[in-house]
Structure 1
């Protein structure tokens, strides 16, 4: 590389977040997890919290999140991440503490831990990846699977009288007194990514300033589980997922002035 080819700092428009390491990601091409990982790494770095962040890794597709974002991680049993985050935050109240969970982990086996941590108003942030399916274990129906949506365990589509209705965990969270910020975002476009970043940043700031519980749902794709190309999965999400899980803030009672 010649001197003229060297990128000068004042000309640098964008670079990979320093906290996002060089390990090849195991996520399927087109998966939303990689984009959210990038946002999380950027935000922690911008907040200057690299040495004072504790993240809780789930069970599911994001189980290896600790391989990609270079902060302190703790592995939780399936669904128990909010309980673990509660203990860590109470022991280290000056830390940025957040969980990173999928819909099966958070809204199924971890329903009780999620609801009660949020209801207690624990000063933690929860990032909730909702792709309406169990991605890692074979594409089974999840609590958030849409009505009529086909999965490995409801091959003819979800039916209310057999499978029950989709669980709107974020809507439930917005009704709890312990939550201060509840929002639903996505990362399917540049504009959506910017909004998602602002939402995650606000949730993290709430954790640091004792503002109660924050929940950021990211409505996501699972093109492998949905058996679609990444492009078609994004389109399907826009045409179907957003109807049941509309984007935007559901609750914001923070006071950080």
Structure 2
């Protein structure tokens, strides 16, 4: 059986072997096509691994300054309210450099979708410690493992956003076919919430980074299931009118 790619996928993935970004990009493309939004989508791209979206994803895009994708997306949506506006960001971009923009776009309930890819490191720049790096995890800037007495515990942006009056909040993963299908459902719900004018949607996706974790792709999936999921549990956390 022939595998049909979404029309928005215009080039082969530029990501490292085993990286979750390629799967996530495909899911976004499938969701936009199924909702018939591919011609009306606008994307604010983050700095970091998300930049590869510019070469592979065929929707109108704006490269945001580091951490500012949510602010750029809010401006796009206010100017073009009929469009499906989303950000594509890593955890370093959205929760380190851009935490203020992430939080305040949610506090204002901007009618955008924020796609937040959590792989626990700054991926493109060499695997440095990120806000989401786990306790004890070794990175290029925590060579003995993250010491939470010095740096604090891993930041849980999704749990912070639960305190705000927003439209949709979910955390998925790309560790198995079942979880990939759930994550696609979360992304679809997020875009539907935006197009129904419900407000701000945030979908966090746990993703492997074999290159910077120094693991094989299969080992990276196993690490997420064993070590990451207990810290970052999956599921839908908020829908408009219910939690």
Matched, 1:118 2:125: no
Once the two structures are superposed, what CA deviation does each residue of 1:86-105 show, in whole Å capped at 9, x if it has no partner?
11101111100000000000
| TM superposition score normalised by structure 1 | 0.91
Query: Is 1:141–2:147 an aligned residue pair?
Result: no
Corresponding residue of 2:179: 192
CA RMSD in angstroms, aligned pairs only: 1.2
Tell me the equivalent position of 1:208.
195
Hey, which bits of structure 1, 4+ residues long, moved more than 3 A?
none
- Which of the residues 9, 18, 28 maps onto 2:7? 18
Write the distance in 1 (CA, Å) between the matches of 2:223 and 2:39: 39
Q: Once the 2 structures are TM-superposed, how far is the Cα of residue 26 of structure 1 from its aligned partner?
A: 2.0
Secondary structure of 1:77's aligned partner: coil
1:227 counterpart = 2:219? no
Q: 1:241 aligns with which of 228, 235, 238?
A: 228
Aligned partner of 2:238 in structure 1 is: 251
Whether contact under 8 Å (1:211, 1:254) holds in the other structure is no
Shift of 1:14: 3.9
Counterpart contact for 1:101–1:127, Cα < 8 Å: yes
The answer to whether the Cα contact below 8 Å between 2:14 and 2:56 also exists between their aligned partners in 1 is no
Structure 2 match to 1:182: 169
Q: Which runs of 5+ in 1 are unaligned?
A: 1-11
Q: 1:13 to 1:198 in 2, by over 3 A?
A: farther
| Equivalent residue, structure 2, for 1:44 | 32
1:217 corresponds in structure 2 to: 204
How far 1:254 moved relative to its partner? 5.6
State the Cα distance separating 1:24 from its structure 2 match: 3.2
Could you tell which deviates more after superposition, 121-130 or 160-169? 160-169
Deviations 1:202-227 (A, max 9, x none): 11111111111100000111111100
User: Which of 52, 76, 80 is 2:64 aligned to?
Assistant: 76
Q: Equivalents in 1 of 2:119, 2:64: separation in Å? A: 21
Number of residue pairs matched? Answer: 242
CA contact (8 A) 2:64 2:72 kept: yes
Superposition pairs of residues 57-136 of structure 1, within 5 angstroms: 57-136=45-124
**Cα offset for 1:176?**
1.1
Using the alignment, how far apart are the partners of 1:19 and 1:38 within structure 2?
Answer: 9
Is 2:165 aligned against 1:171? no
* 1:30 CA drift (Å): 0.3
The answer as to whether partners of 1:133 and 1:139 remain within 8 angstroms in 2 is yes
